[in-house]
Amino acid sequence: MRHERISIVGLGAMGSALASALLEAGREVTVWNRTPGKAGELVARGAREASSVEEAIGAGGLTVACLLDDASVREALGPALRKPAGGTLVNLTSGSVRQARELAGWLGGYGVRFLAGGIMAVPPTVGTEGSFILYSGARDLFDRVAPVLGPIGRPHWVGEDPGLAALYDMAALSGMYGMGAGADHAVALVHAEGGDVETFKREVLRPWMEQMLPITVAGADVSESVPDEYNPAMQATGLETILSASAEAGVPADLAGHLRSSLWRMQRAVTAG
């Protein structure tokens, strides 16, 4: 099973990293990219370059698509699907829940078995410890694919609904961007008031964020309620202080949106008693 041939469709930063990790693990890899000239290094390391997407799909027991977006997947694969040949496609292109469900239906119409995926890594961390790949779709297919694609990141199945991998991927990215917005705001504040940004990042921001990460994730909630131990009145006052300190420092208001949404949550909790 592990030696099933794999075709990678798309050699952008991520597709190239996926192909590289698979070659590193000794897998038999065929690659294709819309714009030629991106396969040189991979070919030198043992990959085979297909001259068309049809050839790539035909070469592999398993095809992995990693393209820009849902539209590019349909554009790239569409012509090749006019000759229904079955096969298996794992789509590691980011997209929405609806797009993943519709893609599953579209491919199913051609007899293609389909797993949707979400890559929880960036190109330099593909296949490294801690990286993982979300998959959704038929469990038996996941069980077949997981050992084959193990080298690109720990396989993690999230359910039969093909939209689930996209859902968790997008939601997790939203968490990451929120964290990034907070870090950008923190650095802007330190910079605006003449602090040493690099020292602050190393000695304060990182250890603080590491300490608070588990509590932050555990405390994320869709309800209006805030646990008593959070003391929403105190939190609201603290958030107002950070917002006024930001205004005093002239830090752009758009960097503080995450503070306002936290403040509103605390204020609603105070109002609700």
Site residues for ligand NAP per CB under 6 A? 10-15, 33-35, 38, 66-69, 72, 75-76, 93-94, 119, 122-123
Long-range contacts of 21-25 (CB under 8 A, 24+ apart): 21/126, 21/127, 21/151, 21/152, 22/149, 22/151, 22/152, 23/47, 24/127, 24/151, 25/127, 25/150, 25/151
In Å, the largest CA–CA distance within the chain is: 66
140: nearest Cα among 115, 111, 117, 122: 115
Task: Provide, rounded to whole angstroms, the least separation between the CB of residue 34 and ligand NAP.
Answer: 3
Integer Cα distance of 100 and 165 in angstroms: 9
Task: Provide, rounded to whole angstroms, the least separation between the CB of residue 36 and ligand NAP.
Answer: 9
3-state secondary structure of 91: strand
* Radius of gyration in angstroms for the set of CA atoms belonging to the chain, rounded to a whole number: 23
The answer to whether the beta carbons of residues 113 and 134 sit under 8 Å apart is no
Beta bridge partners of 7: 30, 63
Integer Cα distance of 173 and 149 in angstroms: 22
Task: Provide, rounded to whole angstroms, the least separation between the CB of residue 6 and ligand NAP.
Answer: 16
Integer Cα distance of 263 and 243 in angstroms: 10
Task: Provide, rounded to whole angstroms, the least separation between the CB of residue 146 and ligand NAP.
Answer: 19
Task: Provide, rounded to whole angstroms, the least separation between the CB of residue 254 and ligand NAP.
Answer: 24
Task: Provide, rounded to whole angstroms, the least separation between the CB of residue 12 and ligand NAP.
Answer: 2
Integer Cα distance of 88 and 144 in angstroms: 11
**Residue closer to ligand NAP, measured from CB, 87 or 118:** 118
- For 186, the token pair is 């923190």
